[in-house]
Amino acid sequence: MDTLLTAPEYDYMLKDSRMRVLVVHEKLLGAVQPILADQPFLKHVVVVGNAPDHLTGYADWIARETVDLVPAPTHREDIATLNYSSGTTGEPKGIPHAHKDLVLTAEYWGKNTLGLTENDRTFAGAKLFFTFGTGGNLLFPWHVGASCVLFSGSPRVATNLLEIVDKFKPTIFYNSPTGYAMAMAVENFRETYDLSTLRLCVSAGEALPAPIWHQWKELTGLDIIDGIGATEVYHIFISNRRAIFVPGRAANPLGGTKSASWILILTPLRKGKPVICLSRGIL
């Protein structure tokens, strides 16, 4: 779950998901403690760090477990994650993703689109509770045997991200259009921070304006792959591709030009028809 939510929002998600076990860091315990007593489905609260006497400490919890890593007998259709949407169209929706979904998005986006290999190192401004961050900075590098840089600071401070790139030398950088604009607003950022290890940048979360794409390219020499993603499909499903960039738009479904995939905006009718430009519809 998003670590920046309020107690009422956590209360909604705990009840909506019928969560039975909650694992929470000691620094975030205060945000959920007021609503724990009113959870009809919650059976266990495990605290990472110092746990109150009435709750279970993570270290004590795992101390009884074997050190042998035995794979669980899961099926590809079993639920692996339940990710909540941002709630821009109402209450956040819990979206289940199966084990196979994580592999497929890593294969089609991370490997086929970005060309990730075991020699890459990824870094994302997006936190892991966003699927943009989970996919790009955890699952995708895991899938190909690459490494990733995890970061506990605020991505809203441009110098935080630039310092990480300078220090840990990633090859792939994920950020939002606003994030790229903020980075370029840092005085002498190109001279102050070494970005030479980056081979490609990725943008999602909002539309990437063409002027930002061109300015970033001019200042750094780096291309930005612009993508459209959604929690419902886990990660990016429409994007530019390496060496095929159309600044100001995200083009090409992930299957590429030979794919059978078509993206249409339809009228909200049973037999929907494509809508005209700038009209509301259903994807």
Average pLDDT, the chain: 87
**How far, in Å, CA of 213 to CA of 207, rounded?**
11
pLDDT tens, residue by residue, 199-244: 999 999 888 999 999 999 999 999 999 988 888 888 888 787 766 6
The whole-angstrom separation of Cα 63 and Cα 244 is 51
3-state secondary structure the chain: CCCCCCHHHHHHHHHHHCCCEEEEEHHHHHHHHHHHHHCCCCCEEEEECCCCCCCEEHHHHHHCCCCCCCCCCCCCCCEEEEEECCCCCCCCCEEEEEHHHHHHHHHHHHHHHCCCCCCCEEEECCCCCCHHHHHHHHHHHHHHCCEEECCCCCCCCHHHHHHHHHHHCCCEEEECHHHHHHHHHCCCHHHHCCCCCCCEEEECCCCCCHHHHHHHHHHHCCCEEEEEECHHHCCEEEECECCECCCCCCCCECCCCCCCCCCCCECCCCCCCECCCCCCCEC
Neighbours of 155 (CB within 10 A): 19
- Residue 263, pLDDT score: 61
pLDDT score recorded for residue 265: 58
Q: Which two tokens stand for residue 138?
A: 């955890």
- Give 168's contacts (C-beta < 8 A, 6+ positions apart): 121, 123, 149
Q: What is the pLDDT of residue 262?
A: 54
Q: What is the residue whose two structure tokens read 């005085």? A: 187
Q: For the chain, what's the residue count?
A: 283
Give pTM, 2 decimals: 0.84
Q: Are 255 and 263 in contact (CB under 8 A)?
A: no
In the chain, ranges of CATH 3.40.50.12780 domains: 75-283
Q: Which residues contact 138 (CB under 8 A, 6 or more apart)?
A: 128, 148
Token pair recorded at residue 109: 């986006």
Structure token digits, residue 124? 């994302």
Cβ neighbours of residue 159 under 8 Å, at least 6 residues apart?
A: 186
Say what the pLDDT of residue 123 is.
97
How far is it, in rounded angstroms, from Cα 184 to Cα 220?
10
Q: Kindly provide the b/e burial profile for residues 107-119, where b requires at least 16 CB atoms within 10 angstroms of the residue's own CB.
A: ebbbeebbebeee
pLDDT less than 50: residues of the chain: 253, 255-260, 278-279, 281-283
Chosen CATH of 75-283 out of 3.40.640.10, 2.60.40.10, 3.40.50.12780, 3.40.50.1820: 3.40.50.12780
The string of pLDDT tens digits covering residues 6-27 is 999 999 999 999 999 999 999 9
